[in-house]
Amino acid sequence: MWGSKKNVAVAGATTLISSDTVVVGDLRFSGNLDVEGLVQGNIVAHPDKEALLRIIGKGRVEGEIRVPSVVINGEVKGSEPRLSRKA
């Protein structure tokens, strides 16, 4: 999933990385992850769980992204996101 869809979410909790936050290191998550700040590291979804990454506004990820669903309205520096699918 690419682009700008409002009200997109999956079941589970939502984690917010706010605009004044910098995370250095890899993140592993399930549910919803909203990035408004900077992540310097890889973002990976837990296997066999629903996960949605939203990079919002001036949000930025510098690293590899491996999640089932991604909405990018910010910036990604690194490899093109790999969308993992359940078999």
Report pLDDT digits (tens) over 22-52.
999 999 999 999 999 999 999 999 998 999 9
Question: Count of domains in the chain?
Answer: 1
pLDDT, residue 82, reads 72
pLDDT, residue 77, reads 94
Cβ atoms of residues 23 and 39 within 8 Å: yes
| Mean pLDDT value across the chain | 88
Task: Please check whether residue 46 lies inside any domain of the structure.
Answer: yes
Task: Please check whether residue 3 lies inside any domain of the structure.
Answer: no
Task: Please check whether residue 54 lies inside any domain of the structure.
Answer: yes
pLDDT, residue 6, reads 54
Task: Please check whether residue 4 lies inside any domain of the structure.
Answer: no
pLDDT, residue 87, reads 39
Task: Please check whether residue 1 lies inside any domain of the structure.
Answer: no
Task: Please check whether residue 26 lies inside any domain of the structure.
Answer: yes
Give every CB contact of residue 45 below 8 A, 6+ residues apart in sequence: 28, 29, 30, 51, 53, 66, 67, 68, 84
Task: Please check whether residue 22 lies inside any domain of the structure.
Answer: yes
Domain that holds residue 54: 14-83
